[in-house]
Chain A
Amino acid sequence: MKDKSEEILSVDNLKLYYPESAGLFKSSNTIKAVDDVSFKLINGETLGIVGESGSGKSSICRLILSLVVKTSGKISWFGNDLDGYTKKEMKDFRKKVQIIFQDPYGSLDPRMTIGSIIKEPLDIFNGQLSKQEKEEKIFQLMNDVGLSNDLFNRYPHELSGGQCQRVGIARALINEPSVLICDEPVSALDLSIQAQILDLLNDLKSKYNLTLIFVSHDLSVIKAICDKVLVLKHGIIIENRNTDDLFNNPKDDYTKKLISSVPSPIPLAK
Protein backbone atom coordinates (compact mmCIF):
# COMPACT_ATOMS: atom_id res chain seq x y z
CA MET A 1 0.00 0.00 0.00
CA LYS A 2 1.43 3.34 -0.96
CA ASP A 3 2.20 5.79 1.81
CA LYS A 4 -0.02 8.83 1.45
CA SER A 5 2.79 11.34 1.79
CA GLU A 6 5.30 9.46 -0.27
CA GLU A 7 7.26 11.32 -2.87
CA ILE A 8 6.71 9.46 -6.13
CA LEU A 9 8.24 11.74 -8.73
CA SER A 10 11.16 14.01 -8.20
CA VAL A 11 12.45 16.59 -10.69
CA ASP A 12 15.86 18.13 -9.99
CA ASN A 13 17.52 20.99 -11.87
CA LEU A 14 15.74 20.16 -15.09
CA LYS A 15 16.87 22.13 -18.10
CA LEU A 16 15.72 22.22 -21.69
CA TYR A 17 17.77 24.53 -23.85
CA TYR A 18 17.85 24.70 -27.61
CA PRO A 19 19.51 27.02 -30.12
CA GLU A 20 17.30 29.69 -31.61
CA SER A 21 17.83 28.92 -35.25
CA ALA A 22 19.80 26.17 -36.82
CA GLY A 23 21.13 26.45 -40.30
CA LEU A 24 23.65 28.38 -42.31
CA PHE A 25 23.77 31.46 -40.14
CA LYS A 26 24.24 30.03 -36.66
CA SER A 27 22.64 32.23 -34.10
CA SER A 28 24.20 32.36 -30.65
CA ASN A 29 20.85 32.73 -28.95
CA THR A 30 19.69 29.83 -26.84
CA ILE A 31 16.05 29.43 -25.94
CA LYS A 32 15.73 28.29 -22.34
CA ALA A 33 12.38 26.54 -22.41
CA VAL A 34 12.92 24.97 -19.00
CA ASP A 35 15.56 26.61 -16.86
CA ASP A 36 16.66 24.78 -13.72
CA VAL A 37 13.28 23.52 -12.54
CA SER A 38 12.98 21.38 -9.41
CA PHE A 39 9.89 20.07 -7.68
CA LYS A 40 8.42 16.98 -6.08
CA LEU A 41 5.19 15.16 -6.70
CA ILE A 42 3.53 13.67 -3.63
CA ASN A 43 1.37 10.58 -3.90
CA GLY A 44 -2.34 11.38 -4.08
CA GLU A 45 -2.08 15.11 -4.62
CA THR A 46 -3.16 17.28 -7.55
CA LEU A 47 -0.23 19.46 -8.55
CA GLY A 48 -1.06 22.45 -10.68
CA ILE A 49 1.40 24.03 -13.07
CA VAL A 50 0.32 27.45 -14.23
CA GLY A 51 2.00 29.79 -16.66
CA GLU A 52 1.51 31.76 -19.83
CA SER A 53 2.66 30.73 -23.28
CA GLY A 54 6.39 30.16 -23.39
CA SER A 55 6.54 29.43 -19.68
CA GLY A 56 7.69 25.87 -20.26
CA LYS A 57 4.74 24.12 -18.65
CA SER A 58 4.04 21.85 -21.62
CA SER A 59 7.75 21.16 -22.06
CA ILE A 60 7.94 19.88 -18.48
CA CYS A 61 5.18 17.36 -19.21
CA ARG A 62 7.00 16.09 -22.26
CA LEU A 63 10.28 15.91 -20.42
CA ILE A 64 8.81 13.82 -17.64
CA LEU A 65 7.55 11.35 -20.23
CA SER A 66 10.82 11.40 -22.17
CA LEU A 67 8.99 12.51 -25.29
CA VAL A 68 11.63 15.23 -25.53
CA VAL A 69 15.30 14.80 -24.63
CA LYS A 70 16.39 16.97 -21.70
CA THR A 71 19.51 19.09 -21.80
CA SER A 72 20.44 18.32 -18.20
CA GLY A 73 18.89 17.53 -14.84
CA LYS A 74 17.46 14.49 -13.11
CA ILE A 75 14.01 12.95 -13.09
CA SER A 76 13.45 10.22 -10.50
CA TRP A 77 10.58 7.81 -10.15
CA PHE A 78 10.26 6.43 -6.61
CA GLY A 79 13.87 7.43 -6.09
CA ASN A 80 15.21 5.77 -9.25
CA ASP A 81 16.87 7.97 -11.85
CA LEU A 82 15.06 7.53 -15.18
CA ASP A 83 18.36 7.88 -17.02
CA GLY A 84 19.42 4.52 -15.71
CA TYR A 85 16.30 2.73 -16.89
CA THR A 86 16.47 -0.19 -19.30
CA LYS A 87 14.03 -0.40 -22.15
CA LYS A 88 11.79 -2.71 -20.20
CA GLU A 89 11.84 -0.49 -17.12
CA MET A 90 11.02 2.50 -19.30
CA LYS A 91 8.05 0.67 -20.76
CA ASP A 92 6.88 -0.09 -17.26
CA PHE A 93 7.24 3.57 -16.36
CA ARG A 94 5.13 4.56 -19.33
CA LYS A 95 2.40 2.25 -18.13
CA LYS A 96 2.33 4.05 -14.79
CA VAL A 97 2.50 7.65 -16.03
CA GLN A 98 -0.05 8.69 -18.65
CA ILE A 99 -1.01 11.96 -20.32
CA ILE A 100 -4.02 13.72 -21.86
CA PHE A 101 -3.55 16.67 -24.18
CA GLN A 102 -5.31 19.92 -24.94
CA ASP A 103 -6.68 19.35 -28.42
CA PRO A 104 -9.44 16.74 -28.12
CA TYR A 105 -9.46 15.94 -31.83
CA GLY A 106 -5.72 16.16 -32.35
CA SER A 107 -4.98 13.50 -29.74
CA LEU A 108 -7.02 10.88 -31.57
CA ASP A 109 -6.00 9.19 -34.82
CA PRO A 110 -8.74 10.33 -37.24
CA ARG A 111 -8.63 7.04 -39.14
CA MET A 112 -9.31 4.81 -36.14
CA THR A 113 -12.57 3.96 -34.42
CA ILE A 114 -13.10 4.91 -30.79
CA GLY A 115 -12.93 1.26 -29.81
CA SER A 116 -9.54 0.72 -31.45
CA ILE A 117 -8.18 3.94 -29.99
CA ILE A 118 -9.00 2.85 -26.46
CA LYS A 119 -7.80 -0.69 -27.22
CA GLU A 120 -4.30 0.38 -28.29
CA PRO A 121 -2.77 0.59 -24.81
CA LEU A 122 -4.24 -2.81 -23.97
CA ASP A 123 -2.49 -4.32 -26.97
CA ILE A 124 0.77 -2.77 -25.89
CA PHE A 125 0.75 -3.73 -22.22
CA ASN A 126 -1.80 -6.48 -21.83
CA GLY A 127 -1.57 -8.24 -25.15
CA GLN A 128 -2.16 -11.58 -23.50
CA LEU A 129 -5.80 -10.81 -22.71
CA SER A 130 -8.40 -12.40 -24.97
CA LYS A 131 -10.37 -10.29 -27.42
CA GLN A 132 -13.45 -10.55 -25.26
CA GLU A 133 -11.61 -9.58 -22.10
CA LYS A 134 -10.21 -6.55 -23.85
CA GLU A 135 -13.60 -5.51 -25.14
CA GLU A 136 -15.12 -5.83 -21.70
CA LYS A 137 -12.43 -3.62 -20.31
CA ILE A 138 -12.97 -1.05 -23.03
CA PHE A 139 -16.69 -0.89 -22.37
CA GLN A 140 -16.07 -0.60 -18.67
CA LEU A 141 -13.79 2.39 -19.23
CA MET A 142 -16.26 3.97 -21.63
CA ASN A 143 -18.84 3.66 -18.89
CA ASP A 144 -16.52 5.19 -16.32
CA VAL A 145 -15.81 8.23 -18.46
CA GLY A 146 -19.42 8.71 -19.46
CA LEU A 147 -19.32 7.59 -23.07
CA SER A 148 -22.30 5.69 -24.39
CA ASN A 149 -21.62 2.18 -25.72
CA ASP A 150 -22.81 2.92 -29.24
CA LEU A 151 -19.80 5.15 -29.83
CA PHE A 152 -17.55 2.09 -30.03
CA ASN A 153 -17.46 2.01 -33.82
CA ARG A 154 -17.61 5.72 -34.42
CA TYR A 155 -14.81 7.96 -35.61
CA PRO A 156 -13.40 11.03 -33.84
CA HIS A 157 -14.86 13.50 -36.32
CA GLU A 158 -18.34 12.21 -35.47
CA LEU A 159 -17.91 13.08 -31.80
CA SER A 160 -18.04 16.39 -29.96
CA GLY A 161 -14.95 17.94 -28.36
CA GLY A 162 -16.05 16.86 -24.91
CA GLN A 163 -16.63 13.28 -26.03
CA CYS A 164 -13.22 13.14 -27.70
CA GLN A 165 -11.59 14.32 -24.53
CA ARG A 166 -13.36 11.53 -22.65
CA VAL A 167 -11.96 9.04 -25.15
CA GLY A 168 -8.49 10.40 -24.43
CA ILE A 169 -9.09 9.94 -20.72
CA ALA A 170 -10.40 6.40 -21.18
CA ARG A 171 -7.34 5.51 -23.22
CA ALA A 172 -5.03 6.96 -20.58
CA LEU A 173 -6.68 5.11 -17.70
CA ILE A 174 -7.29 1.69 -19.20
CA ASN A 175 -4.04 0.27 -17.84
CA GLU A 176 -4.58 1.82 -14.42
CA PRO A 177 -1.67 4.23 -14.21
CA SER A 178 -0.56 5.88 -10.99
CA VAL A 179 -0.04 9.36 -12.39
CA LEU A 180 -2.12 11.25 -14.92
CA ILE A 181 -0.61 14.36 -16.49
CA CYS A 182 -3.27 16.69 -17.86
CA ASP A 183 -1.87 19.25 -20.30
CA GLU A 184 -4.52 21.97 -20.62
CA PRO A 185 -7.26 19.32 -20.87
CA VAL A 186 -10.22 21.71 -20.84
CA SER A 187 -8.87 24.83 -22.52
CA ALA A 188 -10.31 23.92 -25.90
CA LEU A 189 -13.77 23.04 -24.57
CA ASP A 190 -16.98 24.97 -24.03
CA LEU A 191 -17.68 26.29 -20.54
CA SER A 192 -20.35 23.77 -19.57
CA ILE A 193 -18.30 20.88 -20.93
CA GLN A 194 -15.24 22.16 -19.04
CA ALA A 195 -17.16 21.82 -15.80
CA GLN A 196 -18.23 18.27 -16.71
CA ILE A 197 -14.72 17.14 -17.59
CA LEU A 198 -13.25 18.67 -14.43
CA ASP A 199 -15.87 16.87 -12.34
CA LEU A 200 -15.09 13.67 -14.22
CA LEU A 201 -11.37 14.02 -13.53
CA ASN A 202 -12.08 14.52 -9.85
CA ASP A 203 -14.27 11.42 -9.71
CA LEU A 204 -11.77 9.31 -11.60
CA LYS A 205 -9.00 10.55 -9.35
CA SER A 206 -10.63 8.94 -6.33
CA LYS A 207 -11.85 5.89 -8.20
CA TYR A 208 -8.49 5.05 -9.72
CA ASN A 209 -6.33 6.38 -6.86
CA LEU A 210 -4.54 8.80 -9.15
CA THR A 211 -1.99 11.48 -8.59
CA LEU A 212 -2.59 14.35 -10.99
CA ILE A 213 -0.36 16.92 -12.59
CA PHE A 214 -2.66 19.58 -13.96
CA VAL A 215 -1.24 22.13 -16.39
CA SER A 216 -3.30 25.19 -17.27
CA HIS A 217 -3.14 28.87 -17.99
CA ASP A 218 -6.55 29.30 -16.34
CA LEU A 219 -6.05 30.37 -12.74
CA SER A 220 -9.64 29.83 -11.67
CA VAL A 221 -9.53 26.20 -12.74
CA ILE A 222 -6.22 25.70 -10.96
CA LYS A 223 -7.60 27.21 -7.80
CA ALA A 224 -10.66 25.00 -7.96
CA ILE A 225 -8.98 21.63 -8.18
CA CYS A 226 -5.29 21.73 -7.26
CA ASP A 227 -3.71 21.14 -3.87
CA LYS A 228 -0.37 22.72 -4.73
CA VAL A 229 0.64 25.12 -7.47
CA LEU A 230 3.83 25.82 -9.39
CA VAL A 231 3.87 29.21 -11.10
CA LEU A 232 6.16 29.25 -14.14
CA LYS A 233 7.56 32.14 -16.06
CA HIS A 234 10.05 31.80 -18.92
CA GLY A 235 11.02 28.34 -17.77
CA ILE A 236 11.65 29.28 -14.15
CA ILE A 237 9.55 28.39 -11.11
CA ILE A 238 8.40 31.64 -9.57
CA GLU A 239 6.36 30.15 -6.76
CA ASN A 240 5.77 26.66 -5.39
CA ARG A 241 3.12 26.67 -2.69
CA ASN A 242 -0.18 25.35 -1.44
CA THR A 243 -3.07 26.64 -3.49
CA ASP A 244 -4.79 28.50 -0.69
CA ASP A 245 -1.53 30.13 0.42
CA LEU A 246 -0.78 31.24 -3.10
CA PHE A 247 -4.12 32.84 -3.86
CA ASN A 248 -4.66 34.40 -0.46
CA ASN A 249 -1.14 35.65 -0.15
CA PRO A 250 0.70 35.90 -3.48
CA LYS A 251 4.30 36.84 -2.89
CA ASP A 252 5.77 37.47 -6.32
CA ASP A 253 4.77 40.48 -8.42
CA TYR A 254 4.26 38.29 -11.43
CA THR A 255 1.78 36.11 -9.53
CA LYS A 256 -0.04 39.18 -8.36
CA LYS A 257 -0.21 40.48 -11.91
CA LEU A 258 -1.53 37.12 -13.16
CA ILE A 259 -4.24 37.03 -10.53
CA SER A 260 -5.32 40.60 -11.11
CA SER A 261 -5.49 40.09 -14.89
CA VAL A 262 -8.21 37.49 -14.67
CA PRO A 263 -11.47 39.20 -15.61
CA SER A 264 -14.10 38.99 -12.91
CA PRO A 265 -17.38 37.35 -13.90
CA ILE A 266 -19.16 39.51 -11.35
CA PRO A 267 -20.13 42.72 -13.10
CA LEU A 268 -20.08 46.08 -11.42
CA ALA A 269 -23.43 47.80 -11.17
CA LYS A 270 -23.52 50.49 -13.84
Chain B
Amino acid sequence: MQSIQKNIKNSNLLLEVNNLNVFFDTADGKIQAVKDVNLFINKGECLGIVGESGSGKTQTFFSITGLLSSNGYCNGSAIFKDFDLISASEDKKREYLGKSIGFIFQDPMTSLTPHMKIGEQLSEIATFHDNLSKSEALKRALNVLDIVKLPKSRNLINSYPHELSGGMKQRIMIAISLMCSPELIIADEPTTALDVTTQSEILNIFNDLQKGMGISIVLISHNIGVIAETSDRVMVMKGGKVVEKGSTFDVLTSPKDEYTKHLLSCIPPWLEG
Protein backbone atom coordinates (compact mmCIF):
# COMPACT_ATOMS: atom_id res chain seq x y z
CA MET B 1 0.00 0.00 0.00
CA GLN B 2 2.81 2.31 0.99
CA SER B 3 4.82 1.58 -2.15
CA ILE B 4 1.85 2.02 -4.47
CA GLN B 5 1.21 5.37 -2.86
CA LYS B 6 4.83 6.31 -3.24
CA ASN B 7 4.77 5.33 -6.90
CA ILE B 8 1.72 7.41 -7.50
CA LYS B 9 3.53 10.22 -5.75
CA ASN B 10 6.67 9.94 -7.85
CA SER B 11 5.22 10.12 -11.32
CA ASN B 12 3.35 13.30 -10.63
CA LEU B 13 5.49 14.77 -7.91
CA LEU B 14 6.20 18.48 -8.14
CA LEU B 15 7.50 19.41 -4.70
CA GLU B 16 8.66 17.18 -1.89
CA VAL B 17 9.64 18.63 1.47
CA ASN B 18 11.39 16.50 4.07
CA ASN B 19 12.42 17.22 7.65
CA LEU B 20 12.03 20.95 7.30
CA ASN B 21 12.99 22.98 10.36
CA VAL B 22 12.92 26.75 10.59
CA PHE B 23 14.60 28.76 13.34
CA PHE B 24 14.76 32.42 14.26
CA ASP B 25 17.36 34.28 16.32
CA THR B 26 15.47 36.70 18.48
CA ALA B 27 16.11 38.85 21.52
CA ASP B 28 14.55 36.07 23.59
CA GLY B 29 16.86 33.42 22.21
CA LYS B 30 16.52 30.84 19.44
CA ILE B 31 12.94 30.08 18.47
CA GLN B 32 11.89 27.14 16.36
CA ALA B 33 8.97 28.11 14.19
CA VAL B 34 8.71 24.96 12.08
CA LYS B 35 9.43 21.48 13.44
CA ASP B 36 10.21 18.54 11.21
CA VAL B 37 7.63 19.18 8.52
CA ASN B 38 7.15 16.71 5.68
CA LEU B 39 4.84 17.36 2.76
CA PHE B 40 4.46 16.77 -0.96
CA ILE B 41 2.50 18.34 -3.77
CA ASN B 42 1.59 16.65 -7.04
CA LYS B 43 1.08 18.33 -10.35
CA GLY B 44 -2.34 19.85 -10.76
CA GLU B 45 -3.47 19.43 -7.18
CA CYS B 46 -4.40 21.90 -4.50
CA LEU B 47 -2.95 21.45 -1.03
CA GLY B 48 -4.63 23.34 1.77
CA ILE B 49 -2.71 24.38 4.88
CA VAL B 50 -4.82 25.12 7.94
CA GLY B 51 -3.51 26.65 11.12
CA GLU B 52 -3.84 29.54 13.50
CA SER B 53 -1.30 32.28 14.08
CA GLY B 54 2.01 30.90 15.26
CA SER B 55 1.42 27.53 13.66
CA GLY B 56 4.33 28.01 11.28
CA LYS B 57 2.22 27.67 8.15
CA THR B 58 3.59 30.81 6.52
CA GLN B 59 7.21 30.33 7.61
CA THR B 60 7.25 26.85 6.11
CA PHE B 61 6.70 28.30 2.66
CA PHE B 62 8.77 31.42 3.21
CA SER B 63 11.74 29.18 3.94
CA ILE B 64 11.29 27.16 0.76
CA THR B 65 11.07 30.24 -1.43
CA GLY B 66 13.88 32.22 0.20
CA LEU B 67 11.60 34.81 1.76
CA LEU B 68 12.69 34.27 5.35
CA SER B 69 13.71 37.41 7.21
CA SER B 70 17.42 37.91 7.85
CA ASN B 71 17.38 36.41 11.32
CA GLY B 72 15.80 33.16 10.15
CA TYR B 73 17.44 30.00 8.88
CA CYS B 74 16.29 26.53 7.96
CA ASN B 75 17.47 23.02 7.29
CA GLY B 76 15.99 20.00 5.59
CA SER B 77 15.23 19.46 1.95
CA ALA B 78 12.68 20.86 -0.45
CA ILE B 79 13.01 19.17 -3.81
CA PHE B 80 11.24 21.01 -6.59
CA LYS B 81 11.51 18.98 -9.78
CA ASP B 82 14.86 17.40 -8.83
CA PHE B 83 16.29 20.63 -7.47
CA ASP B 84 16.78 21.20 -3.73
CA LEU B 85 15.60 24.69 -2.91
CA ILE B 86 16.84 24.73 0.68
CA SER B 87 20.49 24.14 -0.12
CA ALA B 88 20.46 26.44 -3.14
CA SER B 89 22.16 29.81 -3.21
CA GLU B 90 20.08 32.98 -2.96
CA ASP B 91 20.52 33.62 -6.69
CA LYS B 92 19.32 30.17 -7.63
CA LYS B 93 16.33 30.49 -5.30
CA ARG B 94 15.39 33.76 -6.94
CA GLU B 95 15.49 32.10 -10.35
CA TYR B 96 12.77 29.75 -9.23
CA LEU B 97 10.72 32.23 -7.24
CA GLY B 98 8.68 34.29 -9.60
CA LYS B 99 9.31 32.00 -12.54
CA SER B 100 8.33 28.45 -11.66
CA ILE B 101 6.90 29.26 -8.26
CA GLY B 102 4.52 32.15 -7.74
CA PHE B 103 3.81 33.65 -4.30
CA ILE B 104 0.68 35.58 -3.43
CA PHE B 105 0.67 37.46 -0.14
CA GLN B 106 -2.15 38.17 2.21
CA ASP B 107 -2.60 41.90 1.93
CA PRO B 108 -3.17 43.17 -1.61
CA MET B 109 -3.13 46.72 -0.26
CA THR B 110 0.57 46.66 0.50
CA SER B 111 1.85 44.08 -1.97
CA LEU B 112 1.77 46.28 -5.03
CA THR B 113 4.25 49.09 -5.63
CA PRO B 114 2.25 52.29 -5.11
CA HIS B 115 4.05 54.50 -7.61
CA MET B 116 4.19 52.09 -10.56
CA LYS B 117 1.42 51.61 -13.08
CA ILE B 118 -0.22 48.21 -13.21
CA GLY B 119 1.05 47.51 -16.71
CA GLU B 120 4.63 48.16 -15.66
CA GLN B 121 4.36 45.90 -12.63
CA LEU B 122 3.02 43.10 -14.79
CA SER B 123 5.68 43.48 -17.48
CA GLU B 124 8.53 43.89 -15.05
CA ILE B 125 8.51 40.28 -13.97
CA ALA B 126 8.46 38.96 -17.53
CA THR B 127 11.26 41.20 -18.73
CA PHE B 128 13.31 40.17 -15.70
CA HIS B 129 12.80 36.43 -15.75
CA ASP B 130 12.14 35.64 -19.38
CA ASN B 131 14.00 38.47 -21.06
CA LEU B 132 10.97 39.51 -23.03
CA SER B 133 10.85 42.83 -24.77
CA LYS B 134 8.45 45.41 -23.40
CA SER B 135 5.88 44.90 -26.12
CA GLU B 136 6.00 41.10 -25.84
CA ALA B 137 5.61 41.40 -22.08
CA LEU B 138 2.63 43.68 -22.52
CA LYS B 139 0.97 41.21 -24.86
CA ARG B 140 1.44 38.46 -22.32
CA ALA B 141 0.09 40.78 -19.62
CA LEU B 142 -3.15 41.25 -21.54
CA ASN B 143 -3.54 37.47 -21.87
CA VAL B 144 -3.01 37.00 -18.21
CA LEU B 145 -5.57 39.68 -17.32
CA ASP B 146 -8.06 37.59 -19.24
CA ILE B 147 -7.34 34.56 -17.09
CA VAL B 148 -8.06 36.48 -13.91
CA LYS B 149 -11.19 37.90 -15.50
CA LEU B 150 -10.12 41.52 -15.53
CA PRO B 151 -10.95 43.72 -18.53
CA LYS B 152 -8.09 43.97 -21.03
CA SER B 153 -8.42 47.70 -21.12
CA ARG B 154 -5.81 50.41 -21.61
CA ASN B 155 -7.36 52.10 -18.60
CA LEU B 156 -6.45 49.27 -16.33
CA ILE B 157 -2.91 48.95 -17.65
CA ASN B 158 -2.32 52.60 -17.04
CA SER B 159 -3.86 52.88 -13.61
CA TYR B 160 -2.14 52.96 -10.23
CA PRO B 161 -2.76 50.49 -7.39
CA HIS B 162 -4.59 52.96 -5.18
CA GLU B 163 -7.25 53.39 -7.86
CA LEU B 164 -8.28 49.75 -7.66
CA SER B 165 -10.46 47.89 -5.18
CA GLY B 166 -9.07 45.17 -2.90
CA GLY B 167 -10.48 42.42 -5.07
CA MET B 168 -9.00 43.87 -8.24
CA LYS B 169 -5.61 44.28 -6.58
CA GLN B 170 -5.61 40.66 -5.54
CA ARG B 171 -6.45 39.60 -9.09
CA ILE B 172 -3.49 41.67 -10.28
CA MET B 173 -1.30 39.86 -7.76
CA ILE B 174 -2.46 36.56 -9.19
CA ALA B 175 -1.92 37.89 -12.71
CA ILE B 176 1.64 38.93 -11.87
CA SER B 177 2.37 35.47 -10.54
CA LEU B 178 1.02 33.96 -13.77
CA MET B 179 3.23 36.04 -16.03
CA CYS B 180 6.02 33.48 -16.21
CA SER B 181 3.83 30.42 -16.39
CA PRO B 182 4.50 28.99 -12.96
CA GLU B 183 3.92 25.37 -12.13
CA LEU B 184 3.22 26.07 -8.49
CA ILE B 185 1.45 28.98 -6.84
CA ILE B 186 1.65 29.48 -3.09
CA ALA B 187 -1.14 31.69 -1.80
CA ASP B 188 -0.82 32.89 1.79
CA GLU B 189 -4.27 33.82 3.14
CA PRO B 190 -5.17 35.35 -0.23
CA THR B 191 -8.77 36.18 0.62
CA THR B 192 -8.60 37.06 4.31
CA ALA B 193 -8.62 40.80 3.70
CA LEU B 194 -11.44 40.63 1.15
CA ASP B 195 -15.22 40.76 1.26
CA VAL B 196 -17.05 37.46 1.11
CA THR B 197 -18.43 38.01 -2.41
CA THR B 198 -14.99 39.02 -3.71
CA GLN B 199 -13.50 36.02 -1.90
CA SER B 200 -15.86 33.75 -3.75
CA GLU B 201 -14.71 35.15 -7.09
CA ILE B 202 -11.03 34.83 -6.22
CA LEU B 203 -11.50 31.22 -5.12
CA ASN B 204 -13.17 30.52 -8.46
CA ILE B 205 -10.09 31.87 -10.20
CA PHE B 206 -7.89 29.53 -8.18
CA ASN B 207 -10.15 26.65 -9.18
CA ASP B 208 -9.76 27.60 -12.84
CA LEU B 209 -5.98 27.81 -12.52
CA GLN B 210 -5.84 24.38 -10.98
CA LYS B 211 -8.43 22.50 -13.01
CA GLY B 212 -8.11 24.43 -16.26
CA MET B 213 -4.39 25.13 -16.42
CA GLY B 214 -2.99 22.32 -14.31
CA ILE B 215 -1.13 24.65 -11.94
CA SER B 216 -0.51 23.22 -8.47
CA ILE B 217 -1.70 25.40 -5.66
CA VAL B 218 -0.79 25.66 -2.00
CA LEU B 219 -3.56 27.53 -0.23
CA ILE B 220 -2.77 28.70 3.29
CA SER B 221 -5.78 29.79 5.29
CA HIS B 222 -7.31 29.77 8.74
CA ASN B 223 -10.76 29.68 7.16
CA ILE B 224 -11.98 26.08 7.03
CA GLY B 225 -14.66 26.92 4.47
CA VAL B 226 -12.07 28.28 2.03
CA ILE B 227 -10.00 25.12 2.39
CA ALA B 228 -13.01 22.86 2.04
CA GLU B 229 -14.06 24.46 -1.23
CA THR B 230 -10.68 24.46 -2.92
CA SER B 231 -8.27 21.86 -1.62
CA ASP B 232 -7.86 18.22 -2.61
CA ARG B 233 -5.68 17.45 0.38
CA VAL B 234 -5.18 19.32 3.59
CA MET B 235 -2.49 19.66 6.27
CA VAL B 236 -3.31 20.95 9.75
CA MET B 237 -0.49 22.72 11.58
CA LYS B 238 -0.07 23.70 15.19
CA GLY B 239 2.97 25.02 17.00
CA GLY B 240 5.23 24.43 14.02
CA LYS B 241 4.24 20.79 13.59
CA VAL B 242 1.90 18.98 11.23
CA VAL B 243 -0.75 17.42 13.44
CA GLU B 244 -2.92 15.88 10.78
CA LYS B 245 -2.93 15.44 7.02
CA GLY B 246 -4.93 13.62 4.40
CA SER B 247 -7.63 14.17 1.84
CA THR B 248 -9.82 17.17 2.58
CA PHE B 249 -12.91 15.04 2.83
CA ASP B 250 -11.35 12.63 5.32
CA VAL B 251 -9.78 15.25 7.55
CA LEU B 252 -12.77 17.58 7.71
CA THR B 253 -15.48 14.95 8.07
CA SER B 254 -13.64 12.47 10.29
CA PRO B 255 -10.78 14.27 11.99
CA LYS B 256 -8.47 12.10 14.07
CA ASP B 257 -6.34 14.62 15.93
CA GLU B 258 -7.69 16.40 19.02
CA TYR B 259 -6.62 19.80 17.78
CA THR B 260 -8.32 19.33 14.42
CA LYS B 261 -11.49 18.28 16.20
CA HIS B 262 -11.23 21.32 18.44
CA LEU B 263 -10.76 23.67 15.46
CA LEU B 264 -13.73 22.21 13.65
CA SER B 265 -15.88 22.60 16.74
CA CYS B 266 -15.10 26.33 16.81
CA ILE B 267 -16.73 27.00 13.46
CA PRO B 268 -20.15 28.59 13.91
CA PRO B 269 -22.83 26.27 12.52
CA TRP B 270 -22.98 26.76 8.81
CA LEU B 271 -25.68 28.76 7.10
CA GLU B 272 -27.43 26.24 4.94
CA GLY B 273 -28.68 23.28 6.92
Contacts and interface: CB of A to CB of B under 8 A. Distances in A.
B229 interface: yes
B55 to A, nearest CB: 9
B77 interface: no
A263 B195 contact: no
B248 A263 contact: no
Given A190-B52, A267-B252, 18 more contacts: A52-B195, A191-B52, A191-B223, A191-B263, A191-B266, A192-B262, A219-B196, A219-B271, A220-B267, A260-B200, A264-B229, A265-B225, A265-B270, A267-B229, A267-B249, A269-B249, A270-B248, A270-B249
Contacts of A266: 228, 252-253, 270
B29 interface: no
B212 interface: no
A261 B196 contact: yes
Nearest to A192: B266
Nearest to A224: B268
Instruction: Name, among A191, A217, A219, A268, the residue most crowded by chain B CB atoms within 10 Å (CB to CB).
Output: A191
Contacts of B232: 270
B247 interface: yes
A107 interface: no
Interface in A36-72: 52-53
Instruction: Name, among A193, A224, A263, the residue most crowded by chain B CB atoms within 10 Å (CB to CB).
Output: A263
B246 to A, nearest CB: 11
Contacts of A259: 271-272
Nearest to B221: A263
A84 B263 CA distance: 49
Interface in A194-227: 194-195, 198, 217-221, 223-224
Nearest to A219: B271
Contact of B196 (A193, A195, A262, A264): A262
Contact of B228 (A193, A217, A224, A267): A267
B266 A220 contact: no
B224 interface: yes
B53 interface: yes
Interface string B244-270: 000111001100000000111111111
B166 interface: yes
A247 interface: yes
Interface of B: 52-53, 166, 195-200, 203, 222-226, 228-229, 232, 247-249, 252-253, 262-272
Contact of A258 (B197, B252, B266): B197
A220 B268 contact: yes
A52 B200 CA distance: 13
A4 interface: no
Nearest to A55: B195
A195 B271 contact: no
Contacts of A262: 196, 225, 270-271
B255 to A, nearest CB: 12
A247 B271 contact: yes
Contacts of B272: 259, 264
B53 A264 contact: no
Contacts of A217: 195-196
Contacts of B229: 263-264, 267
A192 B203 CA distance: 24
The 4 closest A-B pairs by CB, nearest first: A263-B225, A195-B266, A190-B52, A52-B195
Contact of B267 (A191, A193, A257): A191
Contacts of A269: 249
A9 B198 CA distance: 33
Given A52-B195, A261-B197, A262-B271, A268 B222 contact: no
A220 B264 CA distance: 14
Contacts of A260: 200
A261 B200 contact: yes
A221 B52 CA distance: 18
A263 B199 contact: yes
A258 B196 CA distance: 7
Given A219-B196, A270-B247, A264 B270 contact: yes
B42 to A, nearest CB: 14
Contacts of A268: 249
A53 B195 contact: yes
Contacts of A161: 53
B261 to A, nearest CB: 11
Nearest to A222: B268
B270 A190 contact: no
